[in-house]
Amino acid sequence: MTKTIQKWCWALLFLVVGVATANAQQPAPTLSANFQNTDLRTALDFFEKNYSLSFSFDDAAIQGVKVNVKFKNLPLRIALQRTLRGTSLNFEIIDNQYVLIKKTDIPNQQPETKPKPETLTLCGTILDAETNEPLPGAIAYIKNTSHGTTTEADGKFVLEGDFLKDDSLIISFLGYKQLAYPARQQVGKNCREYRLHMDVFTMPDVLINDFATDMVKLASEGGFHFDKQKMPTLPGWGEPDVLRSLQLLPGISAADDSGSRLNVRGGTPDQNLVLLDGIPIYHTGHFFGLYDAFNPFIVDEVEVWRGNFGAEYGGRNSSVIDIAAKQDYGTKTHWGIGMNLLSLQAYVDVPLKKDRVSLLFAFRRSYIDGLQSTPYKNFFNQIFQNGRVAFQEKALENDKFITWNPVINFGDANLKLRWKGRKTRENALSIFSTGDRLDYYFSYDDSTNFTATGDVIAANNFGMSWHHSADWSPNFKIKYNVALSGYKNDYSFNWNEKDRDRPFIFRYTTSNSMTEFDINLHHDWQVSDRHRLSFGYQFMGQESSLVFRDTNAVALEGHLWKNDTVRTGLHTLFADFNFQATEKLDFTLGVRENSFPIRGLFYSEPRLSFNWFPFGKNMEAENGNFRLKGSLGRYWQFVFQIIDFRDIGQGEPLWAVADDYIPAQELWQSTLGMSWENKTSLLDMEIYHKKNQNLTSRNLRVETGFDRGWNFDGESTATGLDFLLRKRWHRFSTWLAYSLGKVEMQFPELNGGQPFPARHDVRHRLNWVNTYSWKKWEFSANLSMRSGTPYSIPSVVQKPCPDCTADTQTFGLAFDQLNAARLPGSARLDLSATWKWKKRRNHGKLGLAIYNFSNHRYTLDKDYLLETPALDQPQTSYNLKELSRLAAGATPSIFVISEW
């Protein structure tokens, strides 16, 4: 590590410790105010501006509310009680800074001191409001006390305790809107009926802040839940980026520093199942993986599993990334625009029928298609550094007769129509399109001599889906999804000389396509309060095509080197059975049974997971939730990628599908871990072991000149530990993610049959993210450190040369040991500063982000180039060049997002 990096690391450390200490010691504020017939929103803005408080509320709940109050130097809780007295609102305070404003059924007349409690009795029956059926297992409790009970099979309950008459009685049941009543209105009366309404889109009772430590929660199934509203301003990047945000989690990274080509716990990018509204996405990134392909305006929620996912998901081995576009309906039209130094984006969300039908449209397009901006140049050079594009650029510096012109453009578009049917039925039609294109032209023309080459890479993905959900009863729900996805990747190389009017003399093309049609019928049955069964049927039809051809326009010859089209169909029955053995222990047993007619085989995927809460489940308690968890499962994968970027240096992978010759990939995975979580903190740790079989050598990223063959008998082993710690204080939050892992591969035909480190084997990786908010400003910094990736050192050997005219042999590269050497480790400091505004009809943010602030251009990978004499010359000498691909240097970016 250089001295510059060390200085920045120490500076960041002292800043974080100092801020954390200062904020940890800050007491709760005392408030003074004088409001005379003042709008409540104005009063809350006054508190936020003068006392560094943060309020979260529903706009409709406070609309038109006026307050009349005067006080001086009162504690926060008493000040808010006086402010809201006489309104139909109540509040909850978290960490002496965050305040939730909630609507109640009667004006807030809560006294500042409470009399001594007395023993009271409440009773009632809880019913479904639409069917009038009783809801067994529903909950009735007195808020902020230990008094509570559940209903019997007939929906009835009796609640006794020494609570106060002005306490709140809460009636709740999973999947229904919660009710709240003053207890005094229920005491001494006949047992009444409480009717609950279905809550299809329930917003969690959490604060909406852009802190990195708030954007993720542990999911009950063992994965992670991301809320787009809390996705942070990424240090060094700026605007939210879904797949880059996921790299803040331990176990998820990109070995090549890209944004979308994720390696999850030792897996390869093609082993990640990425879904957008149920559409399988094959082209996940723009700018050759630099950005993800998902417009941040349309993303609502993201569910992430680093393995051990439920039986409803299949077809990939390493992970599931399930992205949902906006799901709410709304009553007003919302629209927004945003831009950075590379692209422009916009969206509009229109309610076609109030609270019933909504239409969302969004698009994004690069607007700088040449090398005119610093981010464009820096990242372009990082991507194409070791290919023909970079070598020809160097010639441009010393020759005025050379034309060198690479142009990249990208874009994506989304359309989503949502509508409500009768009762609880919901429908959505989603359309997604994304595309990238590189046009690279190089020529030498001195009026006498003329040579020109042209490369075109065009990749796009189009998809659409229909989603239907309904609650057939309080205990039985369905989710049906039909999706179609089409991916196309074309590459062409043209070569021309002498004749300027001829389009080309020689052309080589690669054409790859992948089409997938899915039907997913998912049912969820709450058999009892301790038993839950999820089950369904899936059909997945896939067609892949791969064509290699060349054309000689002078000789009028053409060759079709490969033309493979494979069509398959996969029928799957799946089920997950969850058993709540005790209040502290639950098990989930799952299975997927796949029928693959093209091979006449059945593929079984048994899965088992458990969660044990030794101290009980209680997020409200100060000691939080402590959980022990584990899983064991088998997974099959029926698609894979082929890496074939040729000499241009970069490209898009080719997709292929298993058939009667190519076997499906098999994975066994086990995990064991623990987690602890409360309102402001999260600690999560897991160890894992993965064994993958039937891998193809065509998926390996290897050095130039290495012959991978065409094998499907490889295997890999990944073992590691993932550790995550997040914590929030007043205005300040920190996030620490560390991964320790080892990935080895083995192919009988490679490396003498001995195991060797995978190219993406990064043994240590650490991300330390810190955010600090001050008034309308938010500052964030991320220190990213990792160990180096392995690479192979070749030796130069002589080999036969049938095309040589002056010799019978020439020189070539031999690799005695694969990935036996390792690059040095690296450290990178990313920064960002964001200014936010919020007006009556408009809100947004303007920011500056700096990627690799310390300007440390560490090595991403290393390759070798062997130069030998022309074929008509004696093969007596050679030149072996070492090529290092370096990370982009310090790269500033300005971004703005505005919404109405």
**Chain length of the chain:** 900
Distance, in Å, from the CA atom of 440 to the CA atom of 628, rounded to the nearest integer, reads 54
Q: What is the pLDDT of residue 619?
A: 54
CA 649 to chain centre: 27
Q: What is the pLDDT of residue 754?
A: 92
**How far from each other are the two terminal CA atoms of the chain, in whole angstroms?**
46
Q: What is the pLDDT of residue 766?
A: 96
Distance, in Å, from the CA atom of 346 to the CA atom of 69, rounded to the nearest integer, reads 43
Q: What angle do CA 280, 284, 285 make, to 5 degrees?
A: 165
Write out the two tokens for 113. Answer: 């001191």
Kindly give, in sequence order, each residue whose CB lies less than 8 Å from that of residue 516, ignoring residues fewer than 6 positions away.
280, 282, 483, 484, 485, 486, 540, 541, 542
Q: Strands (DSSP E) along 775-872, which ranges?
A: 777-786, 790-791, 795-800, 809-814, 821-822, 826-838, 843-851, 859-867
Q: What is the pLDDT of residue 256?
A: 85
- Give the DSSP per-residue string, 470-491: EEEETTEEEEEEEEEEEEEEEE
Distance, in Å, from the CA atom of 557 to the CA atom of 374, rounded to the nearest integer, reads 44
Residue type, 657: V
Write out the two tokens for 614. Answer: 């030794």
Q: Is 399 helix (H, G, I), strand (E, B) or coil?
A: coil
Q: What is the pLDDT of residue 110?
A: 44
- Give the DSSP per-residue string, 253-271: E-TTS-SS--EETT--GGG
**CB hemisphere CA count around 730 (13 angstroms):** 16
Helix (H) or strand (E) holding 411: strand 402-420
Distance, in Å, from the CA atom of 442 to the CA atom of 454, rounded to the nearest integer, reads 6
Contact 241, 295 (CB under 8 A): no
Contact 34, 742 (CB under 8 A): no
Kindly give, in sequence order, each residue whose CB lies less than 8 Å from that of residue 159, ignoring residues fewer than 6 positions away.
121, 122, 123, 140, 141, 142, 147, 148, 149, 169
User: Within 10 A of 565 (CB to CB), how many other CB atoms are there?
Assistant: 10
Contact 262, 289 (CB under 8 A): no
| Mean pLDDT of successive 10-residue stretches along the chain, which has 900 residues | 44 39 48 86 82 71 82 81 80 70 55 55 84 78 74 82 73 78 74 76 28 53 64 71 88 89 94 96 91 88 89 94 87 90 91 90 83 72 76 75 87 95 90 94 86 92 96 92 97 85 83 96 93 96 92 77 85 96 93 91 95 79 79 95 76 87 92 88 94 84 57 90 89 92 92 91 95 88 94 90 90 88 94 88 90 90 87 90 86 89
pTM over 0.85: no
